[in-house]
Structures are given as structure tokens and as C-alpha cells.
């Protein structure tokens, strides 16, 4: 090379004063952006944890934040990941497009240039066949190392990869997907019978061992919840970073177990996680993490016209179907996972009216949003009950009701499980040496008859997950002919959205 040097020097001297531009990110510096649990939320929404409760987030605002960071760091030096549960929460994922529900969410994610997403449990809400069509069309890398077909060996979904290696600013990043170990109690028995997922730790460990020799950074992109992320970090010590989801945890600071960092970015498209790492010698040399609220006033670039047009298109479409005002709510109907709530009372009354059953039941995890005081539209009601699960009636004995209420008492007292909201019964319990016992139970205003068989109404989800909610498998459940959302619309139109505040279950001393 030496003989050329003078010539090169001359060329530079003779009018090429251009020197190499400073790299936006120094070698080995990587920025990992992440969201999780978007649940169909594509528009800005009220942030009730911020002063003044401003509307924040949505894909238009998210794209602005992502683009600004890509411009500052260099797009080729960044990754954009999603921790799963893109489906179920707003009417957007109820719209069928190109043969599958959920397609619009993937279209948004493609428009924002997501690099990978992991399959969450709610991706199964519209059934495995729907998910297969959806995954088959995804141009975003679809990950899950443990979701397997019946053989336990092959991927369950078309296009599904166990992991993917991205080359980012000279760093080889192995990203391994993982879907919750609790799938059996979260998907329908029909779908469950068609799969044999591996335990998360086993699948991630195998994939990490396979990727480790050829990568500089190992990332688990998980939909297993923060508690299980911590267990995974302990079980697979080679992981550098876990980008999580499922527990909807807005982590203001990254967690750490051993040498593994853990992050998660809330839910509903309102925040963006920003991880910056320097990678050297096959490990993280420097780590920085920030959870950014996607507030409108902090945007530093203008909105992208095509993403804004997409959002406006879907909003118009959804308003034409779901814009109708059903009635006014005089006050907010709140929800709770572990306790009785106004919304739980309201929806069980709605199911009881739809079915004429003695009792109606609704699970705490099924209440997805709250009814605010003021006009209630079909859309806002849908966001409370987005699953559209069919309503069934089935016989239930007095003894089974008592067993169910005891589980409810445990939920209320210890917050260790989900509460089953109930209409048609009232009950009291007390704690005796740390265990709940029922004091009084009545059904239809009469003391419960343990030997009698009553009728109960509940959604297909509760019927399918009878082990968790009922203890006994319902005999010959009969479809009522509508789903929970339809029952809610009918009840809202007929009776409005008020709550008398009267507790049906209460703890006494
Ligand atoms: Zn989830």
C-alpha cells in the first residue's frame, strides 16, 4: 500500500477536504427500542398517572419518537422490538382484514419498521387458525422458542422462528422469543389440544447455547411477565438482556438478576423503552435505560403523514361501526382483578338479564377497561369487554356455589387469585386462623340450598377454564345465542350504566 500514500495525500490535499463523518453511534453502541402489550391500542389515550391526565401515545406519536431516535443514533444502529399481546383491547383487532383479525396491528408495526415481535397469549384470542393466518403474513420477524406444534419439535405457526440474529452496528444480537408457560389456562382447550409448548426456560436455554458462539449479545424477547423474567434470568445465566411483556409493568428503572438486565415498557402503546448498550468482548460494557412517556409535547419531529393517514382511516372505519352513544354513565364504573367492583357487578347483571339464569359470573381478568362518567359509546364498552366470548348457561349446585365463593373470599382477602364477579347472590365471609370461612350466603334473596341445582351464566372462557374458576366441569353448557359484548350493549341500552354501590360479597369480623 505504501507507494500509493503520496498520491492519496495529494488527492486529499487537492480538493477533497471531506473527512469521514462522525459515526452517529460509536462502534459497539446499540440502541434497543421496545414496546409490549399494545392490545390493539393505536390512538393516543388518557394517562391517568400523569398530572392533568393528558392523552399520550398511539402509533403516530410512537413513530415520531422512534424516528427521532433513529435519526440521532443511525437507523442501522437500532433495533425495535415488541414483547407481545398485540391483539385484544380495542375494536381495531376485531376488524377482519385480509382473512385475519389483528392484521391492522401488523400493518402499523410494519409501517414503523419493527424488527421482531414475540407471540403473546392474547394472540390466541381469535383462535389458533386466525393466528396462523396472521403470522403467515407478518413481515416482522415472529419469534417464540417454546411454542411448538403437537410433536413438540416444530414451530407452531408459519413464519415463526425460535430466534433471530440481527447485525447492528457491528454487534451480532441473538434475539430469542418466549411465550408464557401458563398458556394452557389462557387459550381454548381446542387450541391447546393442537400444541405442545416447551417449558420457557428449557427452550430459551437451548436456543441461547446454540446462538452463544456466534453472537455478541443475547436478548430474550419474552411474553412471560416480570416475575417469570426474573426466574428466567436466574435459570439461563448467559442472557444479557430480557425485553419483557405480559405483566404490563412500566419499569422506570431496569431490573437486574445476576448479569442479566430486565426491562418492560408498560402497556397500551403509551410508553417506549429505550435501552442503550455498549457491547465489547461478548458482554455489555455500559448500560443505560429510560422509559419514555409518549407525550404530545415532547415530540421533536413532525408526524409521519402515512402513519397518520392509517390511524385516521381505521378511526373513521371504527367510529362508523362503534360510534353510537348507548347511554350516559352518571359515575365511573371501576374494575378490579382481585376484588368486587362496580364494573364486575354491572356486567354480571347484564349476563343474568341476557340468560335469565339464577346466577351470572365474570372473571376479573376479563374486565379490560373502565366505564368513565358521561356518554358511553359502543367503542368504550367494547374496550371493557373486547373478547366477544359466547355466553353459556349450565347447572351449578349450591355446594359448588359455596366452594366458588370460598375461592372468591381467598381472592379478596389475600389477592392471590382472580375474583369472580357474581350477580344473583350475596355473601359474607370472615377470616378464621388465616383461612376464609363463609358466614352467610343467599341466592335470589333466599338462604342458599346446598342440595339444590341452580342455573349459572358465564362466558366460554370461564366454561373452558372450569378447573381454575368453577372447580367442576359444567355439564352440557347451553349457548345463550350472544356474546358478552352483545349482552353488555343490550343491557346498557335497556338499563344504562349505573351502580348502586351495594356490595354483594363482604368481609365481616
Ligand atoms: Zn399477556
* Among candidate residues 264, 279, 280, 207, the one with its CA nearest the CA of residue 238: 207
Whether 12 maps to a domain, the answer reads no
5 in any annotated domain: no
Q: What distance in angstroms lies between residue 85's CA and the mean position of ligand 1's atoms?
A: 5
Nearest-angstrom CA–CA distance, 396 and 453: 6
Domain extent for 422: 325-507
The grid cell for 246 is 405480559
Give the residue carrying C-alpha cell 407471540.
119
Ligand 1 centre from 366 Cα, in Å?
Answer: 12
Choose one of 272, 296, 315: the last residue of a domain: 315
* 273 and 361, same domain (yes or no): no
pTM score: 0.90
Determine the pLDDT at residue 23.
77
Q: What is the CATH number of the domain that holds 47?
A: 3.60.21.10
Q: What is the DSSP string of 158-187?
A: TTEESEEEEEETTEEEEEEEEE-TTGGGTS
Residues 235 and 331 occupy one common structural domain? no
Rounded to the nearest whole angstrom, what is the distance from the C-alpha of residue 254 to the centroid of ligand 1?
A: 20
Asked whether residue 247 is domain-assigned, the answer is yes
Residues with CB under 5 A from ligand 1 (ion): 85, 120-121, 246
How many Å lie between the centroid of ligand 1 and the Cα of residue 224?
A: 7
Ligand 1 centroid from CA 245, angstroms: 7
How remote is the CA of residue 508 from the centroid of ligand 1, in Å?
Answer: 35
Distance CA 240, CA 217 (A): 6
Residue 74 and residue 174 in one domain = yes
Domain boundary residue, one of 315, 343, 370: 315
H helices of 55-102, where? Answer: 59-73
Q: Do 293 and 388 lie in a common domain?
A: no
Do 352 and 488 fall into the same domain? yes
Residue 362 domain-assigned?
Answer: yes
- The pLDDT score that the predictor gives to residue 3 is 39
From first to last of its 509 residues, what are the pLDDT tens digits of the chain?
A: 333 434 444 444 444 556 667 778 888 999 999 999 999 999 999 887 888 889 999 999 999 999 999 999 999 999 999 999 999 999 999 999 999 999 999 999 999 999 999 999 999 999 999 999 999 999 999 999 999 999 999 999 999 999 999 999 999 999 999 999 999 999 999 999 999 999 999 999 999 999 999 999 999 999 999 999 999 999 999 999 999 999 999 999 999 999 999 999 999 999 999 999 999 999 999 999 999 999 999 999 999 999 999 999 999 999 999 999 999 999 999 999 999 999 999 999 999 999 999 999 999 999 999 999 999 999 999 999 999 999 999 999 999 999 999 999 999 999 988 899 999 999 999 999 999 999 999 999 999 999 999 999 999 999 999 998 998 999 999 999 999 999 999 999 999 999 999 999 999 98
Residue 149: other Cβ atoms inside 10 A: 15
Residue 16 lies in a domain: no
Within 8 A by CB and 6+ apart from 128, the residues are 156, 187, 190, 191, 194, 195
Q: Please give the distance, rounded to the nearest whole angstrom, from the Cα atom of residue 445 to the centre of ligand 1.
A: 38
Domain count within the chain: 2
CA of 441 to the centre of ligand 1 (A): 35
Q: How far is the CA of 131 from the centre of ligand 1 (A)?
A: 15
Alpha carbon of 8 to ligand 1 centroid (Å) = 59
Question: Could you report how far apart the first and last alpha carbons of the chain are, in Å?
Answer: 90
At 487, which CATH number?
A: 3.90.780.10
Cα of 93 vs centre of ligand 1, distance in Å, is: 15
Residue 37 Cα to ligand 1 middle (Å)? 7
Has residue 3 been placed in a domain?
Answer: no
333 and 267 part of one domain? no
Same domain assignment for residues 228 and 107: yes
Judgement on whether residues 294 and 340 belong to the same structural domain of the protein: no
Residue 15 in any domain: the answer is: no
Residues 292 and 406 in one domain: no
Does residue 402 sit within a domain?
A: yes
Among 315, 336, 353, identify where a domain stops. 315
pLDDT of residue 7: 42
pLDDT score, position 1 = 35
Amino acid at each position: 500500500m505504501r507507494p500509493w500514500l503520496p498520491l492519496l495525500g495529494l488527492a486529499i490535499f487537492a480538493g477533497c477536504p471531506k473527512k469521514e463523518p462522525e459515526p452517529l453511534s460509536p462502534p459497539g453502541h446499540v440502541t434497543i427500542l421496545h414496546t409490549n402489550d399494545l392490545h390493539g391500542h393505536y390512538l393516543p389515550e388518557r394517562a391517568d398517572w400523569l398530572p392533568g391526565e393528558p392523552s399520550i401515545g398511539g402509533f403516530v406519536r410512537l413513530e415520531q419518537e422512534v424516528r427521532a431516535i433513529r435519526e440521532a443514533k443511525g437507523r442501522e444502529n437500532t433495533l425495535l422490538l415488541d414483547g407481545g399481546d398485540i391483539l385484544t383491547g380495542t375494536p381495531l383487532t376485531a376488524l377482519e382484514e385480509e382473512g385475519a383479525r389483528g392484521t391492522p396491528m401488523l400493518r402499523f408495526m410494519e409501517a414503523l419498521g419493527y424488527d421482531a415481535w414475540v407471540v403473546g397469549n392474547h394472540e390466541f384470542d381469535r383462535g389458533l387458525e386466525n393466528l396462523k393466518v396472521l403470522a403467515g403474513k407478518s413481515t416482522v420477524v415472529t419469534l417464540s422458542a417454546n411454542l411448538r406444534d403437537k410433536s413438540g419439535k416444530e414451530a407452531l405457526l408459519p413464519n415463526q422462528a425460535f430466534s433471530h440474529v440481527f447485525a447492528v452496528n457491528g454487534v451480532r444480537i441473538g434475539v430469542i422469543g418466549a411465550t408464557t408457560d401458563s398458556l394452557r389456562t389462557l387459550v381454548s382447550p381446542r387450541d391447546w389440544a393442537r400444541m405442545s409448548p416447551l417449558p420457557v426456560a428449557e427452550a430459551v436455554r437451548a436456543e441461547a447455547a446454540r446462538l452463544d458462539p456466534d453472537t455478541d449479545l443475547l436478548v430474550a424477547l419474552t411474553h412471560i411477565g416480570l416475575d417469570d423474567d426474573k426466574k428466567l434470568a436466574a435459570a439461563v445465566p448467559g442472557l444479557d438482556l430480557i425485553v419483557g411483556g405480559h405483566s404490563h409493568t412500566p419499569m422506570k428503572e431496569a431490573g437486574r438478576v445476576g448479569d442479566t438486565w430486565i426491562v418492560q415498557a408498560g402497556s397500551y402503546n403509551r410508553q417506549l423503552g429505550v435501552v442503550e448498550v455498549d457491547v465489547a468482548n461478548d458482554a455489555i460494557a455500559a448500560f443505560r435505560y429510560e422509559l419514555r412517556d409518549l407525550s404530545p409535547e415532547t415530540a421533536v419531529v413532525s408526524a409521519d403523514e402515512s402513519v397518520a393517514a392509517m390511524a385516521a382511516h381505521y378511526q373513521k372505519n371504527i367510529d362508523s361501526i362503534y360510534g353510537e352513544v348507548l347511554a350516559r354513565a352518571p359515575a365511573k364504573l371501576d374494575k378490579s382483578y382481585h376484588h368486587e367492583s362496580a364494573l364486575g357487578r354491572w356486567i354480571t347483571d347484564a349476563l343474568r338479564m341476557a340468560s335469565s339464569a339464577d346466577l351470572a359470573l365474570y372473571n376479573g381478568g376479563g374486565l379490560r377497561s373502565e366505564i368513565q362518567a358521561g356518554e358511553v359509546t359502543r367503542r368504550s364498552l367494547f374496550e371493557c369487554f373486547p373478547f366477544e366470548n359466547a355466553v353459556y348457561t349450565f347447572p351449578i349446585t349450591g355446594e359448588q356455589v359455596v366452594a366458588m365463593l370460598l375461592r372468591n373470599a381467598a381472592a379478596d382477602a389475600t389477592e392471590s387469585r382472580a375474583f369472580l364477579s357474581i350477580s344473583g347472590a350475596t355473601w359474607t365471609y370472615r377470616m378464621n386462623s388465616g383461612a376464609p370461612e363463609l358466614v352467610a350466603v343467599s341466592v335470589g334473596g333466599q338462604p342458599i340450598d346446598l342440595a339444590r341445582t341452580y342455573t349459572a351464566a358465564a362466558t366460554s372462557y370461564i366454561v373452558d377454564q372450569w378447573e381454575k374458576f368453577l372447580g367442576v366441569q359444567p355439564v352440557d353448557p347451553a349457548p345463550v345465542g350472544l356474546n358478552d359484548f352483545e349482552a353488555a350493549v343490550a343491557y346498557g341500552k335497556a338499563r344504562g350504566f349505573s351502580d348502586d354501590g351495594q356490595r354483594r360479597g363482604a368481609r365481616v369480623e
